[in-house]
Amino acid sequence: MFTVAPISGLFLDIYAGGDDNKAGESASPTPTSTKTPKTSERTDGARVIARSGDTGKVLWTSAPLSILVEPEPPTLKVINTAGGEFVIVVRRGNTPDEALAKSAKVVVVDSFPVVGSGLEVAPTRHIQRFVEGRLDSSAVVVGNGGVLFAESSVGPLGAIEAGNSWDPVDGSNQRFVATTTKRSKCLDGLPCEVRTAPIELTSSGMLSLIDAKCDRIDFSDACLRGFGVSDRWNSEAVAPQGRPLGAPIAVTGTAVIAAWWQVTKRDTRPSVLYVAHDLATGAAVASTECVVEIDLAQNRAGLPLTAASSPDNRYVVAGPLAFDLSAGKAVCLGKDPLSKTVILKSVGDSGIAYGTVQQESAANHFVDRDAPPAVVSAPVATGEVQAFSADTSVPESIAGPGIGIFRPVTAPRDPPSTRIGVYPKSR
């Protein structure tokens, strides 16, 4: 498990010695500390390791994090705040059964400034929350504006009914709830109640879904009303002409990617327009039509697609979509129903995007699951896809100008490799 800090050019991963790598942490060794660990800092606790993306040199390692029994795979995400880049570590598991305390299910979040030094760096902020029920039901959403903890399961498009927001920089905690307002006239001309429910806390404010208390959202109904960012803007003011219904599908530090459509007859395929909106103002920056329909019906934390930006923030990729925010251009790598869908996962400052091809297409539902997925590259300017042989690796992420993070190719039914490589080769 790793992440990159694009501004600082650092590579960060998590290592847990003594746990047989059951939770998916890095198998890379951590530097030896000359400090004698305390009982509460046993070396079987996970450590965060920060390396230079340019040279691979270890710049700092964290003190051992709190011990969790039967931990789930951790997640790491770098956020960009007014105080600089921070890496947020989210872990789920059970607290140890001790003499005076029973074991309990918890979700633990620690934050570290990305730029640091030393071998026993303590988190600047730490929070632990007890979990009722299954651990995977404890929705946690990390955004550039902070961390959201959901009190219950999330709704369509990751909408959260109630929970707490936590600032990983100053440690402040604030409760939030979805709000409901009455409107005298909605899209069908009749009165309705409209709910505004938080999805993610961005650097510009809370990104929220605005709907009519939908149980499900798809491209064939008018339940959805739109979305917005705090008091800055809402989708009604920026909707493309002829497409009044909009849904956020991905977000970066500078843009919200949204799908827009017009309700049609139930058996008619809608025309979907995908737009990159400026996060601060809502202004449309680039758009493209696409026959690929993003799954809006999922009920899980976060938005349907994971977006990645180039280090200079000019280019953004999300699923089959690629945007050039400076040139105001966009492409979709799913040009017709017979094309296999390309899922992009990284893009460099040169405008070259990288990804994989989904194994199924509309015309071919019978695929060889043992065949490795094809890997591809495509210039954002043209969208012309180039496929590579199955033994080729493309960048999982790009840590800085010309610095790609690669993972070795494994068999399709095997778990992803825990090893990573950097190209150009570290000096």
268-303 pLDDT, tens digit per residue, is: 666 789 999 999 999 999 999 987 777 776 667 788
Residue whose C-alpha is closest to residue 291's, from 364, 350, 247, 342: 342
Beta strand spans in 54-202 (E)? 58-62, 75-81, 84-94, 105-113, 118-121, 125-130, 140-143, 146-150, 162-166, 173-177, 179-183, 192-202
- Residue 91 confidence class, pLDDT cut points 50, 70, 90: very high
User: How far apart are alpha carbons 13 and 4 in whole angstroms?
Assistant: 9
Predicted confidence (pLDDT) at residue 23 exceeds the cutoff of 50: no
Q: In sequence order, what E strands does 306-358 have?
A: 307-309, 315-318, 321-324, 329-332, 342-347, 352-357
**Is residue 355 very low, low, confident or very high in pLDDT (cuts 50, 70, 90)?**
very high
Highest averaged pLDDT of the listed ranges 219-228, 267-276, 315-324, 340-349: 315-324
pLDDT given for residue 97 in this prediction: 85
DSSP character at residue 55: T
Is the pLDDT reported for residue 398 higher than 50? yes
Tokens of 361: 């297409």
Would you state the pLDDT for residue 297? 66
Tens digits of per-residue pLDDT, 228-246?
Answer: 999 899 998 999 998 888 8
Backbone angles phi, psi at 211, to 5 degrees: -145, 180
Q: Is the per-residue pLDDT at 145 higher than 80?
A: yes
pTM: 0.85
**What is the reported pLDDT for 368?**
43
The phi and psi torsions of 325 (rounded to 5 degrees) equal -70, -25
The per-residue pLDDT for range 49-87, each reduced to its tens digit, is 999 888 889 999 999 998 898 888 899 999 999 889 999
How far is Cα of residue 318 from the mean position of the Cα atoms in its chain?
10
Does 393 have pLDDT greater than 70? Answer: yes
Band of pLDDT at residue 30, cut at 50, 70 and 90: very low
- The pLDDT of residue 265 is 57
**pLDDT at residue 427 is higher than 90:** no
Share of the chain above pLDDT 70, in %: 79
